[in-house]
Amino acid sequence: MRTFIVAGGPGGEPPSGLSPQPGDTVIAADLGARHARAWGWPVHLLIGDLDSLDATEVERLRGAGVAVVTAPVAKDETDLELALDRALETDPESVVIASALGGRTDHLLANVLLLARPDLRGRDVLIADGPETVRLLWGANGEGQAATPTALEVLGAPGDLLSLLPLGGDARGVSTEGLLYPLANETLHMGRGRGASNVLLGPVARVTLRGGMLLVTHTRLR
């Protein structure tokens, strides 16, 4: 079972090639409910302070059987965080966060940095917005240890873009397969753009990482 979370990003573009299937759950974070309905997606839960939806929309959803959880405007968590917390309560196989990119820079960064929550380590969580997906690949803890690398396969098409950006420090022991500019057990340094704008040579690319964290951004061009 997958859980889809629809955030209130201003673009409102559905993720390419990803949509809920029977048995999946869709949680809308505030304005995300409007996006989900525009895409023809069901909404099973609406959560947030609901300051971006008018009362008529909220009552229409409630009347259609959608569960509604209203949070105070003055709170420590964003609406998307509340939706993610609720999603994790059911221990889903994977979580897809839609419509969370674009718009204000602070919102975009806060949404992407959610992937670094410790309770998401080992879980299949991605942000998907139109042709773009973002995942976080976690390496082993510790410095300089000969750890077994973690790996991620990216499915796409020749010419797609793939960017590898360190998060929280240097990414160590980075190796790639199926990319135009290969890496072989190398270090990508925090704050440097060496891993940006690589290119898929075929339908599959593979990234492995020994230490640190690596944001993997895939942009489909067709």
- pLDDT given at position 146: 53
Mean pLDDT, the chain, as a whole number?
93
Domain count across the chain: 2
Question: pLDDT digits over 126-168, tens only?
Answer: 999 999 999 999 997 655 455 678 999 999 999 999 999 999 9
Average pLDDT (181-190) is: 96
- pLDDT given at position 147: 62
- pLDDT given at position 12: 76
The reply to whether 112 and 142 lie within a common domain is no
Query: What percentage of residues in the chain have a pLDDT greater than 90?
Result: 85
Final residue before a domain boundary, out of 105, 130, 155: 130
Which pLDDT band, with edges at 50, 70 and 90, does 222 fall under? Answer: confident
Domain at 166, CATH number: 3.40.50.10240
Average pLDDT (34-60) is: 94
- pLDDT given at position 59: 94
Strand ranges of the sheet holding 198-199, from the earlier edge strand across to the other edge:
67-70, 45-48, 25-29, 2-6, 94-98, 124-129, 132-138, 213-219, 161-166, 198-199
Q: In which domain, by residue range, is 195 found?
A: 135-219
